[in-house]
């Protein structure tokens, strides 16, 4: 099948006919099966700290929100979560937090990575999602065992980016970080928020082309969900953002083909079956929350985050049911690396030999 044109993608973003949309989602799921297989991989996500030096206008844990009790889990607590993930046979984990660049934090992460790698004999894959850092920091963490990094560009439109962030937050720096991560050897993930105030359908089409131009290996994107204690517009059309979220997954799959695409938790905030619908529209990654229940209420990037009262094992059995109901198989115990990344590596090796 030929690549979709800008105009075709744009038309899909306005499509409201449920039958036509079903057809698009079916095609995207078939494309996923063809290029990355029928399995869905789990990444247990540990949201280990809500301390953040940044002030993104949309985010509930931004530094200027005085209502959030701040926490950082200890190395021991993080390690326990990682071991629980391995016991549950999740092939890999994601460590996520607010953004900090201080040396104490950089060293803390380095230590945590080495401990997890040692304790699991290198078997547990580790993705980081810790915001913008220097090339040196990214390299140190790569050396300590992380092999994937998630850094959403949030929007590929620099003008829209400016409206969503304070003046000292930079689109160009963020994009440069993605390039640095790739140079170091990480599998690189990015994504955007969907249904942001001021965002147009054209913006969403350009986002997909941005993923392609930047040779992104993994996509993690989800609907924008307002948080009541942030400066950004609070009114959104939930049903519409959900529809746009699924169309984004489907069009990204049809355009990028062999990348990993996550069905974001924010999808489930808007629809109880959100994540399985994401899989049916072409996603192949799910990120079950394995943060200890006591900390979850302090890590609310947006309101009505689901599963706040569940523990990691409850999340697992609930998700298993959901994924099976969506007709997909779960890739337990596997890293489920991005096929896009592996192919790139292979052709690089071949061109060198």
**How far, rounded to the nearest angstrom, does the alpha carbon of residue 7 sit from its chain's CA centroid?**
27
Residue 47 or 337: the one with the smaller Cβ distance to ligand SAH is 47
Classified as helix, coil or strand, 126 is: strand
- Of the candidates 12, 42, 46, 62, which one interacts with ligand SF4 according to CB under 6 A? 62
Does residue 59 interact with ligand SF4 by CB under 6 A? Answer: yes
How many whole angstroms separate alpha carbon 234 and alpha carbon 253? Answer: 30
Does residue 229 interact with ligand SF4 by CB under 6 A? Answer: no
Does residue 222 interact with ligand SF4 by CB under 6 A? Answer: no
How many whole angstroms separate alpha carbon 96 and alpha carbon 115? Answer: 17
Residue with tokens 């920091």: 137
Give me the least distance between CB of 61 and ligand SAH, in Å please: 8
8 Å CB contact between 217 and 260: yes
Q: Which does 227 bind (CB under 5 to 8 A by kind): ligand SAH, ligand SF4, none?
A: ligand SAH
In sequence order, the 6+-apart residues with CB closer than 8 A to the CB of 258 are 35, 36, 338, 339, 340, 343
- Structure-derived torsion over alpha carbons of residues 326, 331, 335, 340, reported in degrees to the nearest 10: -60
- Of the candidates 56, 73, 259, 279, which one interacts with ligand SF4 according to CB under 6 A? 56
Q: Which does 302 bind (CB under 5 to 8 A by kind): ligand SF4, ligand SAH, none?
A: ligand SAH
Residue 193 or 330: the one with the smaller Cβ distance to ligand SAH is 193
Q: Which does 62 bind (CB under 5 to 8 A by kind): ligand SAH, ligand SF4, none?
A: ligand SF4
Does residue 286 interact with ligand SF4 by CB under 6 A? Answer: no
How many whole angstroms separate alpha carbon 160 and alpha carbon 18? Answer: 30
Classified as helix, coil or strand, 95 is: strand
Give me the least distance between CB of 66 and ligand SF4, in Å please: 14
Residue 100 or 253: the one with the smaller Cβ distance to ligand SF4 is 100
DSSP string, 144-169: TT--EEE---B-S-HHHHHHHS-TT-
Residue 49 or 86: the one with the smaller Cβ distance to ligand SF4 is 49
Does residue 61 interact with ligand SF4 by CB under 6 A? Answer: yes
| Of 84, 90, 47, the residue nearest 323 (C-alpha) | 90
* φ and ψ at residue 258, rounded to 5 degrees: -105, 25
Please identify, among the stretches 58-66, 155-163, 180-188, 307-315, the one whose residues bind ligand SF4 according to the rule CB under 6 A: 58-66
Number of other CB atoms surrounding residue 214 within 10 Å: 16
Does residue 45 interact with ligand SF4 by CB under 6 A? Answer: no
Q: Which does 151 bind (CB under 5 to 8 A by kind): ligand SF4, ligand SAH, none?
A: ligand SAH
Using CB under 6 A, list all residues that contact ligand SF4: 52, 54, 56, 59, 61-62, 98-99, 131, 301
């Amino acid at each position: 099948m030929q690549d979709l044109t800008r105009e075709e993608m744009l038309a899909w973003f306005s499509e409201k006919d449920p039958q036509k949309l079903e057809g698009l989602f079916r095609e995207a799921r078939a494309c996923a099966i063809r290029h990355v297989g029928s399995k869905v991989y789990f990444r247990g996500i540990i949201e280990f700290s809500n301390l953040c030096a940044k002030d993104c206008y949309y985010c509930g844990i931004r530094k200027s929100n005085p209502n959030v009790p701040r926490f950082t889990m200890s190395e021991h607590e993080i390690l326990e979560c990682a071991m629980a993930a391995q016991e549950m046979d999740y092939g890999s984990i994601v460590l996520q937090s607010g953004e900090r660049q201080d040396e104490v934090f950089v060293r803390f992460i380095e230590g945590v990575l080495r401990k997890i790698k040692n304790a699991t004999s290198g078997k547990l894959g580790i993705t980081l999602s810790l915001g913008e850092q220097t090339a040196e920091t990214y390299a140190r963490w790569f050396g300590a065992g992380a092999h994937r990094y998630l850094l959403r560009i949030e929007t590929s439109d620099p003008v829209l980016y400016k409206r969503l962030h304070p003046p000292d937050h930079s689109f160009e720096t963020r994009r440069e970080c993605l390039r640095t991560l790739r140079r170091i050897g990480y599998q690189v993930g990015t994504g955007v928020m969907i249904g942001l105030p001021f965002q147009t359908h054209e913006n969403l089409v350009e986002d997909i082309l941005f993923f392609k131009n930047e040779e992104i290996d993994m996509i993690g994107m989800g609907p924008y969900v307002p948080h009541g204690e942030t400066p950004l517009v609070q009114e959104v059309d939930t049903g519409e953002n959900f529809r746009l979220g699924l169309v984004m997954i489907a069009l990204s799959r049809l355009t990028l083909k062999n990348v990993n695409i996550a069905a974001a938790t924010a999808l489930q905030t808007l629809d109880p079956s959100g994540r399985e619908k994401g899989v049916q529209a072409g996603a192949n990654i799910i990120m079950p929350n394995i943060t200890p229940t006591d900390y979850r209420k302090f890590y609310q990037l947006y309101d009505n985050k689901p599963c706040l009262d569940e523990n990691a094992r409850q999340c697992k059995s609930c998700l298993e049911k959901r994924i099976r109901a969506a007709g997909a198989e779960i890739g337990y115990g596997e890293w489920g690396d991005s096929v896009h990344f592996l192919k790139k590596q292979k052709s690089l090796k071949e061109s060198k030999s």
